[in-house]
Amino acid sequence: MVRTILQEGDNPSPEALARLAALDGRPVDTSDISEATDEELKEIARQVREKRRKKMFSLRLSNETIEWWQQLGEGYTGIMARLLEKAKSHPEWIKQCL
């Protein structure tokens, strides 16, 4: 088994792409996986809900910055949230702001 973990925005290596292409059309063998119990399914659902839960967060910004973001239209706060999430995997962005 070969495991490759890619983050959003990563470019897979040519070798990784070749391994994926070789798997195209092959059926997935699930014979060694046991069925999940009702309790396990409930726990998985609880964990998914917990992961999706969001907290309210307050941030002070200049009027100019707020107006700029609002120009993006409906959903601009979601765009801001996704940008902050993406910044976690780009420490160089943070260093530029220190």
Q: What percent of the chain has pLDDT over 70?
A: 98
Q: What is the pLDDT of residues 51-80, one digit of tens each?
A: 888 888 899 999 999 999 999 999 999 999
Residues with Cβ within 8 Å of residue 77, at least 6 apart in sequence: 69
Q: Which of 54, 51, 84 is nearest to 69 (CA)?
A: 84
User: For residue 8, what pLDDT is reported?
Assistant: 78
User: For residue 2, what pLDDT is reported?
Assistant: 67
Q: Which of 25, 42, 29 is nearest to 1 (CA)?
A: 29
pLDDT at 40 over 80: yes
User: For residue 95, what pLDDT is reported?
Assistant: 92
Where is pLDDT greater, at 47 or 2?
47
Residues with Cβ within 8 Å of residue 72, at least 6 apart in sequence: 79
CB-based contact 61:68 (threshold 8 Å)? no
State the average pLDDT over residues 81-88.
93
CA 26 from centre of chain: 27
User: For residue 1, what pLDDT is reported?
Assistant: 67
Question: How many angstroms separate the CA atoms of 53 and 60, rounded?
Answer: 23
Question: How many angstroms separate the CA atoms of 45 and 66, rounded?
Answer: 36
State the average pLDDT over residues 15-33.
88
